[in-house]
Structure 1
Amino acid sequence: MRITAARVIVTCPGRNFVTLKIETDQGLTGIGDATLNGREKAVVAYLEDHVIPCLIGQAADQIEHIWQYLYRGAYWRRGPVTMRAIAAVDVALWDIKAKAAGMPLYQLLGGRSRDRVMVYGHANGADIAETVDAVGRYIDMGYKAIRAQSGIPGIKDAYGVGRGTLHYEPADAALPSETTWDTAKALAHVPQLFEALRATYGFDHHLLHDAHHRYTPQEAASLARRLEDFRLFWLEDLTPAENQAAFRLIRQHSTTPLAVGEIFNTIWDAKQLIEEQLIDYIRTTVVGAGGITHLRRIADLASLYQIRTGCHGATDLSPVTMGAALHFDTWVPNFGIQEYMRHTPETDAVFPHDYHFEDGFLHVGDTPGHGVTIDETLAARYPYQPAFLPVAMLEDGTMWNW
């Protein structure tokens, strides 16, 4: 079975998505997600100019060879553009291979490790009271795990506080909007949020919080320690992880579980964190880390150190990645949790899928392949719209981590 054609489909049903569709001489097709939030067209050009010409004529069932060809053959390895392009090819080829076998994708990975996948949703509010109410709504919907973010007095547009209850998209303008940050105010406020949440709902539900790389290692250690009594499921992205050893300081001062990795591209980004057991959950995702082929390697390394997966699942990935991730989650032995930020009805219509939510869990379908398709006619009605992620600045104008 040979690859005869491949093309990129860009659509914006509320936000931009980049999809690669691969066709074969046996009539089977597969799709993969290549979305890079705020930098989508960089991946489009990489695919169209540098990847697709190399795919034509290749054996579609040689997934490992093609992965190595695109990774090693480029010489300039890694990086978000390269790895998202590779991910799109990889997922599309797994989709084709599973369709050829007449099986859902998880069967090709080795079969089920679980029947359903626990997910967490995003609850946020302008202040603590609104966030407490939002968490209650997620509990009423059946969620067992909820990420909680609150506006912080004195901080403009605090991270994670969106403009909707179920759907929000941070990439919000044709040029980057500006937000502000003040670490001292956040350190004083965040523990109050979780004190209120535990006082209201007790300890029957998992609570998570995303720090979005805002703290220095010392500040991160302080926050993690202050939150210990509230027994968080995890604290996410406490400090930038380019320096993986920075997590040693946090680990030395707190037992709060730590999660990181949604912006990682390869196993090398997490190697020290995993081998030194500096984290509890690895958040690398299918679209970010070169597809299922490479994510399996990261998960296998993590399993040696009793570190579990917690794959990124915000709306900056399409239902194609969510479908592939759920097949991965259903198989992977060291699964922890899956982020589930719901797409808009318009997005769901463009990307029909067979997974569904029920009582706090996502259930993967048994359609051959990864169970997600694209309605190209409908997709064409939503042309690309330039949209940047915001930037964050300290009150004195210093650029900070968004």
Structure 2
Amino acid sequence: MSATDVTRAEAEDSAEETVSRRPAWTLHRAGTAVAPALIFLGIRELGLLVLTWMASRNNHSVAESLRSWDGQWFLAIASGGYDGVPVGLVDAFGERSAETPLAFFPGYPTVVRWFAAIDGDGGIGLVTSALTVTIVSGVVCSYALVRLGSHIRGGSRRTGLILVALFAAAPMSVVLSMAYSEAMFCALAAWALVGVLERRWLLAGICCALAGLVRSTGAALVLAVCLAAVVAIVSGKSSWRTWVGALLAPVGLFGYLAWVGVRTGEWDGWFALQERGWGTGFDGGAATLRFSLDALADARSVLEVATVWFVLLAIALLVIMIVQREEWPLIVYAAGVLAMDLASNGLMNSKARLMLPAFTLLIPVATGLARRQPATVAVTLSGLAVASSWFGAYALTSWGYAI
């Protein structure tokens, strides 16, 4: 065999070896790409399985549970707009005025309506659309959480994946499978914070503006994004994108609040609706403290006692974030969400759900678990997923009041 033939044979063998390795590499890349989605969807599927089991034991409909309480309002707004909400939907006091539906932000029901009408001829149905938008939002959020986990102090992709699992298994994460707006808000908030940490100010500003159209918690996000932009400007690390991002950030929230003010004839119209319809206003945390002491003293229900412990855990995690000197925009955002939740009165039973957007509080847990052995991580996350699944199912099928 000549030298040319040997060279050709070696080249062919090398090519065949490269081709044989390519599928494995492609599979690895595909697995890496879908890992955040699979983790999120897997844990949420466990939650739905437990919900199905408990619903059957308590004579509840899973479909009705997934669209209960606030879900009814969002679906009604998606169907007929603010002026087309059925009169049968009332506030926490059993009352109703023409302005009552304005207490619910328009972002989520608007997207639900758009998605339901995609294929024309009646679309896919509002309930299916709402649940699809929720699940897709949760998946979108999971990819942002992986990015956040890679950017935090001592973080990594592994930290980000653990953060996704903790978010999907958080207390009251059942709403990430319901016709509720939390998943969409969290997705937008997470990507806005990614924009802040990566100094992608247009991403941060646009996502923050959109989040302000989804939930009032957008105020905490506006604070974090705008404060970060101001620091960048003052420190001389800004560009025109920083200014544009900072100007865009509050547009959604302030725009909707202003519109409600015009509709109600009151400059603080949205806040007045919350006070009249749900007894919600800022009292510095007095109502939360009274509720916590009463719940612990009387132990009236699993949900109320657990809510108190979740509140204490959230405060402890915020302190740990400060001590560990996590990225300060993430601390500001978490502190803002907690302040809006714990410093207000109203429906105490919703405290745990309203803390869900404070997902950055899970960072200390994620970084701690990332340093442990894989078996420890798997057992811990599995236990949290099971406990969360049960608690969420309990809240929908055994607890008889709003969440």
Normalised by the size of structure 1, how large is the TM-score? 0.27
Q: Larger Cα Rg: Structure 1 or Structure 2?
A: 2
Higher helix share: 2
Normalised by the size of structure 2, how large is the TM-score? 0.26
Higher strand share: 1
